Chains A and B, each alone.
Chain A
Amino acid sequence: MKTQTLSLGLASVGAILCASTALAQTPVLNVLTYDSFTSEWGPGPAIEKAFEAECACDLVFTSAGDGAALLARLQLEGPRTDADVVLGLDTNLTAAARDTGLFAPHGVTADLTMPVTWDDDTFLPFDWGYLAFVANKDTAPVTSFRALADSDLKIVIEDPRSSTPGLGLLMWVHAVYGDEAPQIWADLADNIVTVTPGWTEAYNLFLAGEADAVLSYTTSPAYHLIAEDDDTKTSWAFDEGNYLQVEVAAKVANTDQPALADQFMAFIAQPGFQDVIPETNWMYPATKVSLPTGFDTLTVPSKGLLLSSQDAANVRDALVETWRTALSQ
């Protein structure tokens, strides 16, 4: 009896040792991304499962705030970063990310389905969306910034100094109006109820009834429709087009898992990754996969606008200053 217990104990110790050795031999791929990607409702868990089924590796997501925080984290860590892949920067940040010299070409050829041409060998898009004002269906829609400025509608926007959609809005107005942007902002001033630090605050103010519309994405109503069975929300397509937010991934140059990192970059463009995006990240997938029911009801703008990452970086400070001056009057 006693010997049996002992041998059982030894066997279990042996099993644990074997298991931990096996664990130690499993290569680990570290992917640095933003918060909502890895949450239990985000795309992370499903993607982890799908990739681990084919890579014989351990995929570990580490999250750091939003897209901007991701870049700051990377700049803090520098070349010593543990990250093998970074997932979740957008085109407003990629110029600064490229300047760090931390990234290597992705080497992936994918059949991208975005309304703009994409030509970047370092940053690979994994999803995208149109920026748009989201409103209730019973609010009379407007189709341009001028019409919005002329209306009595009240809107909530995000601060471009602290949020990525807020910065996208500046790029949008700049892309459409160029040098006339200051006048547009001056005219819009009396429509803006308030400016919030981030998307979360803005969207909540809108849901609380503080404004007629909020700067968000054309895909936001899909969440309400599919997850909450609420079809009262819509978004507005503007005649001149809506600005795009393109979210990208990139491979860290001095990764200690180059082969796995390459495998993951290729996986990003495959259905195992792309199929998960619409109903977890509530964005459009970057390649041609079938969209869930409900996405067909979304507003589709006639045109997608996007500044190149270098152009966006070049004009950013001036646009913020213009915006700030116009709204401080």
Chain B
Amino acid sequence: MRSLPAWLSAALVLALTLGTLLAVALRAEVGRGLSSGDWAAIRFTVGQAIVSALVSVALAVPVARALARRRFRWRGALVMLLGAPFILPVIVAVLGLLAVFGRGGLLNAGLAGLGVAPVSIYGAGGVVLAHVFFNLPLAVRLILQGWLSIPAERFQLAAQLNAPIWRLLERPMLARVVPGAVLVIFLICLTSFAVALTLGGGPKATTVELAIWQAVRFDFDLGRAALLSCIQFGLCAVAAVIAWRVTPVDGFGSGLDRVVARWDQSAWDWAWLLAVTLFLATPLAMVVWRGVPGLADLGPGVWAAAGRSVAVAAGSTVLCLLLGLSLALRGGIVMSIVGVLPLAASALVMGTGLFLMLFPLANPATLALPVTLCVNAVMALPFVLRVLGPAVTDIRASYGRLAETLGLRGLSLLRIVILPRLRRPLGFAAGLTAALSLGDLGVIALFATDAQETLPLAMYRLMGAYRMDAAAGAALLLLALALGVFWICDRGGRMDVDA
């Protein structure tokens, strides 16, 4: 009984990931195998994803630590800002980064003032920089959740005993949280396409996703697309198994949900917080700066698209939380794998597969928004599970026996014991899903007609029609909406933290 919602969720995820892949493969003609170029793409893809993930997480640990042990006035705003880059459409974020690190950007203007030769953002360094910009915030938030999951009582006990916090509390927590964070970011970077290509400098920066793109869009070689997608799945599976093996399952026992009062602060905390704020906020400020004049140029079509995007985001958030909660409550290795699958799926293959599956039944154009809603929910699921999974495990470990003794089961267990303690991760997960869904430009492009245009699509169409000022305005609107929904959803969690 307890498992039924979980199996339904798993079935939906499997249908959208492996099911769509199968639909593509069934239409395929015999593939040609892999060329040497494909192998080069695989090597580059994996290499840059490893470096990007390690750098993002390595930088995120001290930042999360500083956030976990400092209380200050703008902390809430900073934590929210940390959610912003992750949900920006790639081209908007890249233009923001270029305004800082590009040829005519602030950094090079400063260097020129000092008489230093300009630096170039293009190449492997630029790819990693952009990936860190996108993923550092996510890593910080995931690791911060880990820090906040350590009960305050533990810190108090450690303080009384004058015990080393790092060795006893923080290092074990990191050992539990970091592999998952590395894995998630590795997988995000693995399927990266536009960042790698735009900032990579050229054909050296070829990714598997580009090869899939080319196979579907230009060659209509579905067999090759399916083969390359299988390779992405394979890489993902290997990474998932490694992460699962190195993640020890242990908890810290229960606390009384008190807020931690930390005494082990250092001045380095401020340095880290200042650095990360500058790194993330400056490009975003440039997006705002450029977008404000364009706001006046936005026609009614763009506002309607914005409304549509918000509706889709709300729907996919509800669906994703239902999926995530049912899977997290069920737990187990199968559910972990199901939860990671969407990260390895190619949005292009998913869209193509869905098109093939739905076309005999209905006109795909009329289903554009429901399909986008479902796909967005499933795509956000890995992040939501990464947040909810450990939290549910902790609650079960801490309150499971007590609840059993009291005879709490099913919905009453969920309502009385689990949901109140999940408020913070649920809020964060909802904010993340809604914001991700707002910025998504994947499947919609394959299905949509003008009547189903979403805000990111409207922004790309404005750019395609040379209306760069209006597009900058649309980008600002997107940023504001994404931050807005993130703020609303995440608010409960942040208030807890600030208290």
Please report A residues at the B interface, Cβ cutoff 8 Å: 35-36, 38-42, 61-65, 68-69, 71-73, 75-77, 80, 82, 96, 154, 159, 161-162, 189, 192-197, 199-201, 203-205, 207-211, 220, 223-224, 227, 282, 321, 323-324, 327-328
Q: Tell whether, in the assembled complex, residue A208 and residue B104 are in contact, meaning their CB atoms are under 8 Å apart.
A: yes
Q: Tell whether, in the assembled complex, residue B203 and residue A194 are in contact, meaning their CB atoms are under 8 Å apart.
A: no
Complex interface residues of chain B between 172 and 225 (CB less than 8 A to chain A): 193-194, 197-204, 206, 210, 213-214, 216-218, 220
In the complex, B481 has a CB within 8 A of chain A: no
In the complex, B71 has a CB within 8 A of chain A: no
User: Given the complex of chains A and B, what is the CA–CA distance between A205 and B199 in angstroms?
Assistant: 10
A122 shortest CB reach to chain B, Å: 19
User: Given the complex of chains A and B, what is the CA–CA distance between A162 and B205 in angstroms?
Assistant: 14
5 A–B contacts from the bound complex (CB under 8 Å): A42-B465, A61-B450, A62-B365, A193-B120, A327-B202
Complex interface residues of chain B between 347 and 370 (CB less than 8 A to chain A): 352, 355-356, 359, 363, 365
In the complex, B103 has a CB within 8 A of chain A: yes
Q: Tell whether, in the assembled complex, residue A194 and residue B204 are in contact, meaning their CB atoms are under 8 Å apart.
A: no
Stretch at the interface among B91-99, B325-333, B418-426, B484-492: B91-99
Please report B residues at the A interface, Cβ cutoff 8 Å: 37, 40, 91, 94-95, 98-99, 102-104, 120, 122, 193-194, 197-204, 206, 210, 213-214, 216-218, 220, 299, 301, 352, 355-356, 359, 363, 365, 445-446, 448-450, 457, 460-468
Q: Tell whether, in the assembled complex, residue A82 and residue B465 are in contact, meaning their CB atoms are under 8 Å apart.
A: no
Q: Tell whether, in the assembled complex, residue B461 and residue A39 are in contact, meaning their CB atoms are under 8 Å apart.
A: yes
Residues of chain A contacted by B120 (CB below 8 angstroms): 193
B193 shortest CB reach to chain A, Å: 7
Closest chain A residue to B40, Cβ basis: A328
User: Given the complex of chains A and B, what is the CA–CA distance between A202 and B198 in angstroms?
Assistant: 8
User: Given the complex of chains A and B, what is the CA–CA distance between A2 and B243 in angstroms?
Assistant: 74
Residues of chain A contacted by B468 (CB below 8 angstroms): 204, 207
Q: Tell whether, in the assembled complex, residue B214 and residue A162 are in contact, meaning their CB atoms are under 8 Å apart.
A: yes
Where chain B touches its partner, the secondary structure class is: helix
A292 shortest CB reach to chain B, Å: 15
Q: Tell whether, in the assembled complex, residue B198 and residue A197 are in contact, meaning their CB atoms are under 8 Å apart.
A: yes
B199 shortest CB reach to chain A, Å: 7
Closest chain A residue to B90, Cβ basis: A201
User: Given the complex of chains A and B, what is the CA–CA distance between A72 and B216 in angstroms?
Assistant: 7
User: Given the complex of chains A and B, what is the CA–CA distance between A207 and B104 in angstroms?
Assistant: 11
User: Given the complex of chains A and B, what is the CA–CA distance between A63 and B464 in angstroms?
Assistant: 14
Residues of chain A contacted by B122 (CB below 8 angstroms): 193-194
User: Given the complex of chains A and B, what is the CA–CA distance between A226 and B308 in angstroms?
Assistant: 32
Q: Tell whether, in the assembled complex, residue A40 and residue B104 are in contact, meaning their CB atoms are under 8 Å apart.
A: no
A154 shortest CB reach to chain B, Å: 8
Given A36-B465, A65-B445, A209-B102, do A195 and B450 touch, yes or no (CB 8 Å)? no
User: Given the complex of chains A and B, what is the CA–CA distance between A324 and B214 in angstroms?
Assistant: 14
Closest chain A residue to B448, Cβ basis: A63
Residues of chain B contacted by A321 (CB below 8 angstroms): 37
A156 shortest CB reach to chain B, Å: 9
B134 shortest CB reach to chain A, Å: 16
Residues of chain B contacted by A194 (CB below 8 angstroms): 122, 198-202
User: Given the complex of chains A and B, what is the CA–CA distance between A132 and B114 in angstroms?
Assistant: 37
User: Given the complex of chains A and B, what is the CA–CA distance between A211 and B201 in angstroms?
Assistant: 12
User: Given the complex of chains A and B, what is the CA–CA distance between A38 and B352 in angstroms?
Assistant: 22
A181 shortest CB reach to chain B, Å: 15
Q: Tell whether, in the assembled complex, residue B203 and residue A327 are in contact, meaning their CB atoms are under 8 Å apart.
A: yes
User: Given the complex of chains A and B, what is the CA–CA distance between A77 and B364 in angstroms?
Assistant: 10
Residues of chain A contacted by B40 (CB below 8 angstroms): 328
Residues of chain B contacted by A207 (CB below 8 angstroms): 468
User: Given the complex of chains A and B, what is the CA–CA distance between A42 and B464 in angstroms?
Assistant: 10
User: Given the complex of chains A and B, what is the CA–CA distance between A321 and B200 in angstroms?
Assistant: 18
Q: Give which listed residue, B197, B352, B467, contacts A41 with CB less than 8 A.
A: B467
Given A76-B355, A194-B199, A201-B91, do A36 and B214 touch, yes or no (CB 8 Å)? no
Given A65-B445, A210-B103, do A196 and B197 touch, yes or no (CB 8 Å)? yes
Q: Tell whether, in the assembled complex, residue A68 and residue B202 are in contact, meaning their CB atoms are under 8 Å apart.
A: no
Q: Give which listed residue, A61, A209, A224, contacts B103 with CB less than 8 A.
A: A209
Q: Tell whether, in the assembled complex, residue B98 and residue A208 are in contact, meaning their CB atoms are under 8 Å apart.
A: yes
